[in-house]
Structure 1
């Protein structure tokens, strides 16, 4: 019985650890998977940031409608900011915004969010007082 345990102990000593080839294959597989997954992750982050900007655009449009009801005109960007509105820091880090007021007989506005930094692929997102959103592929 004792000799059987010695044989098992010798076999266990032979099979300890990984070989360098096994370790290199594992590292290569992990690198390939990461190379495939990382671009998808980047696109996911960009879409998430775009959704946050679009939510802020809708919030500004809602504020504009409230301002119109109270004042019979839309608010300029400076009027919005003086009333206490400011972009959240996560959106402000990726986009700049502007509010352009129409000059026609009927009041109108265009909200434009221009991407910066890693969001540059988005370009400019716009929303007007009629609810038209551009570019349509980004909404």
Structure 2
């Protein structure tokens, strides 16, 4: 009686080669994904800073003052106090200045902005909302 064995399938060497190739692809893709994620967060923070600065400039112009109070709730991103009529909501999780001035820089911090070069996760903006 003859044993019917199949010769289909992969050898151990072929499977190991595929695993190595997948590992190399992952090693290249993960840092690229992290960079895209960081750039996306930086863009969001920059956009929020521009909105806040624009709202502050408009408030100061209409009320003939040089400073404005920013009431910000980090859990839901709502903006209150003097700016609530100009901007309702920005991103969540920020730590930012409570007062914006007509000629003073301000900072916004977020934990997801922490990198090897930016150990505090803080970005500094001009009074117009431009990244410094």
The TM-score with structure 2 as length reference comes to 0.71
Partner of 1:3: none
SS in 2 for 1:47: helix
- 1:51-93 Cα offsets, whole Å, 9 max, x none, are 00000000001101210221012311239522433432xxx23
Partner of 2:69: 76
How many pairs were matched up? 113
- Alignment partner of 2:123 out of 113, 122, 125: 125
Question: 1:22 and 1:127 mapped to 2: Cα distance?
Answer: 54
- 1:9-42 Cα offsets, whole Å, 9 max, x none, are x9xx42x111122111101110111012111110
Q: Structure 1 residue 54 and structure 2 residue 53: aligned?
A: no
Question: 1:54 and 1:35 mapped to 2: Cα distance?
Answer: 30
Q: Is the 8 A contact 1:99 1:110 kept in 2?
A: no
Relative to total residues, which structure has the larger helix share, 1 or 2?
1
Cα separation, partners in 2 of 1:67 and 1:26, compared to 1, 3 Å: same
SS in 2 for 1:112: strand
Q: Structure 1 residue 17 and structure 2 residue 2: aligned?
A: no
Question: 2:131 and 2:20 mapped to 1: Cα distance?
Answer: 45
Question: 1:53 and 1:72 mapped to 2: Cα distance?
Answer: 28
Cα separation, partners in 2 of 1:71 and 1:53, compared to 1, 3 Å: same
Question: 1:46 and 1:131 mapped to 2: Cα distance?
Answer: 19
SS in 2 for 1:67: helix
The TM-score with structure 1 as length reference comes to 0.68
**CA-atom RMSD in angstroms:** 2.5
Question: 1:42 and 1:29 mapped to 2: Cα distance?
Answer: 20
Partner of 2:95: 96
Larger Rg: 1
Partner of 2:27: 35
Consecutive unaligned residues of structure 1, counting only runs of 5 or more, are 1-9, 135-139
